[in-house]
Structure 1
Amino acid sequence: MRSRDAANGVARRLALSGAAVSMLVAVAACASPVPTDGADSVPPPELVAPNDDERQLDPVAGDLVVSLARQLGRGRALHAAVHGDLIVVATTLGLVAGSPSDGYAEISATTNGETRNVQIAPDEQTALQLSADRLEVWRLGPGQDGLPPGPTAMFDDVVAAAYGSDSNVIVAGRRSLQFVASDGTVIDQFDIEQDRVVLAAAIADDSVVAALSSPDGPLALDWQRGQDPLVTPIDLPAQTEISAIRPVGESVVAMSWTSADDSFIGSIGMWDLRDREFRWTVDSGTPDSPWDVAADGSAFVAANGELRIVDPDGSESSVRLSSSQRVRWLLASASGESSRVRVVYAEGSSEVLGQTGESIAQLDGLGLPITAISHASDGSVLTVDLYGSIERRTPDGEIVDRFDDFVAATVNDVAISRTGSIASASANGTVRVDDSAARTTRLEHPEGNVDTVGFSDDGDRLVSGVGQRRSALAYDDTVVIWNVDRDERVASTVAEAEDVNGCSFFRNVVRFAPGGSFIVATSHDFTVTVLDAQTADTVHVLPPQASGILDLDIAADGSILVTVADDGVLRVWDLESYELVASHRVPDGGARNVAVLPGADVAIVGDLLGRVQRIDLRTGEMSAPFEGEKLRTAEIAVSPDGKLIAAGTADSLVNIWSVADGRLVASANGHQGAVQTAAFGDDGQTLVTGSQDGTTIVWRLEAR
């Protein structure tokens, strides 16, 4: 094991030389990296329809050229593998490798669905990533052949994959089993007969065990390289669906299945391939009951609030679990000569139990659901939570490492100041601020999810709005005013998270008024509060509306405030007298988003179907829907001159429209998730977007 030297080497050799970038472009179909500012930036993912300048993309209608200038954030960790000091992480943006001390470099700038397995080869030269049913093997650095980092092999229709002791890859596909060298060369292969299909497979100790379907009933298979596979019929009805299989010693497997009749009863059993019989079987209750088996053959099943323990001889015992929460994961490990089982609950807490069910450790975690769990090469347990925090613990539950380099959450809102600073509000309770000198600061909100952010005109202050659910009908709607340069709270409101009848949804929308003298903010009690921009004291409270306020905007001249609510009504308020001066019912259920155009006579609304339209604020007259659609909840950004608007889509695009005629004039693709928010810079040529992939992208717009 090369340990830290290996991590250092990977970080150096993954600097992605021009040749490495060319390789990625050719094989992974991604655009060349754009020079970025700041240590937290990574090369961008693929752009749609690149023209001769590979940083630019062709607009839909030809009016604009959109260039990706900068990307902020590494993306959120989905799965991880650790070998010594080397870490390989599958994120929402691709695959990276390195270490916290020496930095990370990009291996792949693409994602292929939800990653379900990442592993590092014993020699640390390659890593594999299994996503959905596709397996990709990636070279981490130049080997003896001198080739740069890049892909070495790709397989589709894969059930399971793992490294053997010699760093070759063992692949179990639906129709074949293979041993593959690190360069992609097939060393050995066993083809599954035409009328059979692999249902489930697992790999351990350089061998493959698999459950197959066949016309005569399910089969069990055990195959080692260079040998004929051992295949036996399993004593189960012909239509039985085997969902998972685990190796247990020589020619013995544990498996789970669902009854072939209409009862949908789940079962688990231990099958001896040589004796052709079950050593034991037990009903597990529902088909999706979590289970695992330890190296000594002890099996663990979570069902009905209990942990059932089945010894290798079939004797059973059970213990009551400490939590009534649903069990999401079970992972059995070895600790010396004893077995341990990690029980992970749906809300993120977990506990470690011993071989007889005795409590070893209670682990509260960070209060976030665990989205991935696996073993590291040394037998420790790796977990990844909902926001991408990676944690490594011993089988007994003692903390070894925590890696927060890939923590990211949905970017709910973005703002750009006149000085070029960019603020990104995240669902994990942080606001990230990147200034024009590429310095990054994070403003923490222990209250919870940050819905919106906005800069004062001079860029010295920032306002953020928290929208954290506290009960079924109550939200924390704290508003915080920050001094950006000093990274400190100037003032904040004291939120009263009281139940409000009918409040089942809330989004805390906050906006600085032009000139920066006051702030407007929604409240979960259906009101809008006007706050002093220095002290956060209440100046005025507008009357409660009939239902929750979904969005608001202030005219550029500060004369009016426009709100849209869940009752389908758009309301216009005079900001000098605080009087309601107009109200219009928006067809088809109302508007979800609103943005006022310069001049304060017309606004852009996005309805609950994702359609975009103009509305005359005096008469309520609406234009025909604009070409194309946006994400239903996506914020609408208006250019300073009022000629363009931008909004994100559910399929990762950023759409830009002409306000005059509703034409879609450009569509850019750089995110790997739905695009939630957008904001124009004062120059009219800068557009900032935030996405569910946890990243913020800065775009440059130029007329063709």
Structure 2
Amino acid sequence: MADRPAKARKVAASSSSPSANVIVQFESEDGVAAGPQLDVPAEVTTPQLETLLNGILSNEHKVPYSFQVGGLELAAPLGDHLRQHAASVEAALKIVYRPQAVFRVRPISRCTASLAGHSEAVLSVSFSPDGKHLASGSGDCTVRFWDLDTQTPLKTGQGHTNWVLAVAWSPDARLLATGDMDGKVWLWTADTGEPLGLCKGHQKWISSIAWEPAHLAYPSQRFCTGSKDCTIRVFDARTRRCQLTLSNQSKAITCVTWGGDGAIYSSSRDTTISVWDSKDGHLLSCLRGHAHWANTLAISSEYALRTGPFDHTGSAPEDAEGARKAAEERYKEATSSRPERLVSGSDDHTMMLWQPSSSNKPIARLTGHHQLINQVRFSPDGRWIISASFDKSVKLWDGMNGNFVASFYGHVGPVFQVSWSSDSRLFVSGSKDSTLKVWDMKSRKLKVELPGHSDEVFSVDWSPDGGSVASGGKDKVLKLWRH
């Protein structure tokens, strides 16, 4: 009998019996096989695979896993997935497993407080790494600190002379740095909101602020700022003096971020991304590929670097060395499967995925958006990238190889910012259409729609402890959202 044609040798042939079995092999992300090949029913579900894998790995406590087959997330019973994607099972089917957070963040569902006080648009909001403090910057030239227990104003920080564009907490949750349109940078205490002093040096507006990671210095000592004056400056938080001035890019700096290996990354309107040594300020490499302004950057370990020694409950060792070691362990865990990756978003409607430690060439060019990219964010586990765009959509990408995964439609205006929940299972988006939307990673669908703002939503942030989302915008109101 002649061999069947290749097309007929697909598992997912509609004639396949629903009770047919499939030979599978579990593999880690690194390609290491877990246990022997197994003969499982085609109708096996992801919870059943999870139970099976926990037994194979002899996990003392049940660990939640997600699974991929052929690079695609397994969300349906195995047989349905194979039929849908016409996958072949002539050889053992490889199922790649990835551990997920053992805790779950509940989706926010309601506004619990509308915090008035700012007299102009709220331009930036940020929770502290331990989730216990919240700060906002506004067009009214003030920085406001908010009491999360009572959901009331705590302190109004005055000193800025123009719009406050950027706010950034130190990884030890003790300091806040803020930057404005006049190029002024102020430092504040986290607990009381008292000003510590002014950091001088920039001549034009501050676009971005990033702190040195906690595992490299604890308590936090240094932070860097990017400015329209085309320079990046590294300041000492104790003396408030500029230690280094980094200048290589010919146009405004749009974003800075400080990597866990000590490198500082800066994106610019001259289309380039520069990589700097934070010790002496020399240029390590220049990443080229974008055809227009590079607007935004994110690194795969950003959640571990943001939260430093604090776990998802906001707890951290009390002694400095213990906290530094805890931060170091979290960073090592975040980079255990692959070195730190960088993603950049641009006005050219594309993104680039990089691995700067090994090459100045991009791993992948991510295309699909039809208008400029406002913001990119890696998930806390480093597996996914989400991108917010003026084309009114949010797109999901594989954080390892840059492959497109899904589009999220629902907003009727440009999407300005996005923020992940700490368990990587949900994310929230804020838009010009005055709404926030919560999206579910498992179903790839809208989970909750949150109207409430009366105008454009400029900034959103999900607290590291997962309990709250803060949003601010053109209506001058800061809103808190909880389950």
Q: TM-score range by the shorter chain?
A: 0.5 to 0.7
Q: Which of 113, 123, 147 lines up with 1:99 in the alignment? A: 147
Structure 2, unaligned runs of 5 or more: 1-115, 302-338
Q: Is the 8 A contact 1:222 1:251 kept in 2?
A: no
Q: Is the 8 A contact 1:255 1:269 kept in 2?
A: yes
The answer for the alignment partner of 2:362 in structure 1 is: 278
Provide the C-alpha distance between the structure 1 equivalents of 2:443 and 2:416, rounded to a whole number of angstroms. Answer: 16
The answer for the alignment partner of 2:298 in structure 1 is: 246
Q: Is the 8 A contact 2:439 2:445 kept in 1?
A: yes
Q: Is the 8 A contact 1:221 1:229 kept in 2?
A: yes
2:460 equivalent to 1:373: yes
| AA aligned opposite 2:405 | S
2:397 equivalent to 1:310: yes
Shift of 1:244: 2.3
Aligned CA-pair RMSD:
3.8
Q: Which of 258, 262, 266 lines up with 1:210 in the alignment? A: 266
The answer for the alignment partner of 2:246 in structure 1 is: 191
Shift of 1:108: 0.9
* Gap change, CA 1:201 and 1:149, over 3 Å in 2: closer
Shift of 1:270: 0.8
Give the match's secondary structure for 1:348. Answer: coil
The answer for the alignment partner of 1:422 in structure 2 is: none
Q: Is the 8 A contact 2:296 2:375 kept in 1?
A: no
Shift of 1:382: 2.3
| AA aligned opposite 2:416 | W
* Gap change, CA 1:350 and 1:142, over 3 Å in 2: closer
* Gap change, CA 1:246 and 1:94, over 3 Å in 2: same
Q: Which of 368, 385, 389 lines up with 2:477 in the alignment? A: 389
Give the match's secondary structure for 1:277. Answer: coil
Q: Is the 8 A contact 2:136 2:145 kept in 1?
A: yes
1:492-511 to 2 correspondence within 5 Å? none
The answer for the alignment partner of 1:88 in structure 2 is: 135
| 1:77-129 Cα shifts (integer Å, max 9, x gaps) | 6244443544434352623446375863443154412x222234455554222
Q: Is the 8 A contact 1:172 1:178 kept in 2?
A: no
1:320-399 to 2 correspondence within 5 Å? 321-323=409-411, 325-336=412-423, 338-355=424-441, 358-359=444-445, 361-368=447-454, 369-376=456-463, 378=465, 381-393=469-481, 398-399=482-483
Q: Is the 8 A contact 2:345 2:374 kept in 1?
A: no
Provide the C-alpha distance between the structure 2 equivalents of 1:211 and 1:74, rounded to a whole number of angstroms. Answer: 30
1:48-67 to 2 correspondence within 5 Å? none
Q: Is the 8 A contact 2:430 2:458 kept in 1?
A: no
* Gap change, CA 1:305 and 1:107, over 3 Å in 2: closer
Shift of 1:231: 0.8
| AA aligned opposite 2:410 | S
How many residues align structurally?
A: 305
Provide the C-alpha distance between the structure 2 equivalents of 1:322 and 1:251, rounded to a whole number of angstroms. Answer: 32
Provide the C-alpha distance between the structure 1 equivalents of 2:388 and 2:443, rounded to a whole number of angstroms. Answer: 12
* Gap change, CA 1:246 and 1:121, over 3 Å in 2: closer
Provide the C-alpha distance between the structure 2 equivalents of 1:203 and 1:151, rounded to a whole number of angstroms. Answer: 23
Provide the C-alpha distance between the structure 2 equivalents of 1:142 and 1:80, rounded to a whole number of angstroms. Answer: 17
Q: Is the 8 A contact 2:253 2:269 kept in 1?
A: yes
Shift of 1:370: 1.5
Shift of 1:305: 5.7
Larger Rg: 1
Percent identity reads 9
Q: Is the 8 A contact 1:124 1:140 kept in 2?
A: no
1:111-150 to 2 correspondence within 5 Å? 111-113=161-163, 115-122=164-171, 125-132=174-181, 134-140=183-189, 149-150=195-196
Provide the C-alpha distance between the structure 2 equivalents of 1:319 and 1:141, rounded to a whole number of angstroms. Answer: 38
Q: Is the 8 A contact 1:107 1:140 kept in 2?
A: no
Provide the C-alpha distance between the structure 2 equivalents of 1:177 and 1:109, rounded to a whole number of angstroms. Answer: 20
2:341 equivalent to 1:255: no
1:420-569 to 2 correspondence within 5 Å? none
* Gap change, CA 1:99 and 1:255, over 3 Å in 2: same
* Gap change, CA 1:340 and 1:320, over 3 Å in 2: closer
Shift of 1:288: 2.3
2:255 equivalent to 1:201: yes
Provide the C-alpha distance between the structure 2 equivalents of 1:361 and 1:142, rounded to a whole number of angstroms. Answer: 35
Q: Which has the higher helix share?
A: 2
* Gap change, CA 1:218 and 1:309, over 3 Å in 2: same
2:165 equivalent to 1:152: no
The answer for the alignment partner of 1:487 in structure 2 is: none
Compare 204-213 and 362-371 and name the one that shifted more. Answer: 204-213
Provide the C-alpha distance between the structure 1 equivalents of 2:438 and 2:121, rounded to a whole number of angstroms. Answer: 24
| 1:123-153 Cα shifts (integer Å, max 9, x gaps) | 555422222362422344999xxxx745232
* Gap change, CA 1:339 and 1:189, over 3 Å in 2: farther
Q: Is the 8 A contact 1:117 1:131 kept in 2?
A: yes
Q: Is the 8 A contact 1:347 1:367 kept in 2?
A: no
| 1:260-318 Cα shifts (integer Å, max 9, x gaps) | xxxxx521121232223222113344442444231415223456565432213232233
Give the match's secondary structure for 1:388. Answer: coil
- Please report the TM-score for the alignment, with normalisation by the length of structure 1: 0.38
Higher relative contact order (CA 8 A, sep 6+): 2
Provide the C-alpha distance between the structure 2 equivalents of 1:93 and 1:233, rounded to a whole number of angstroms. Answer: 35
The answer for the alignment partner of 1:591 in structure 2 is: none
Give the match's secondary structure for 2:185. Answer: strand
Q: Is the 8 A contact 1:309 1:356 kept in 2?
A: no
- Please report the TM-score for the alignment, with normalisation by the length of structure 2: 0.53
Provide the C-alpha distance between the structure 2 equivalents of 1:220 and 1:109, rounded to a whole number of angstroms. Answer: 31
Provide the C-alpha distance between the structure 2 equivalents of 1:120 and 1:307, rounded to a whole number of angstroms. Answer: 26
The answer for the alignment partner of 1:266 in structure 2 is: 349
Q: Which of 228, 231, 251 lines up with 1:175 in the alignment? A: 231
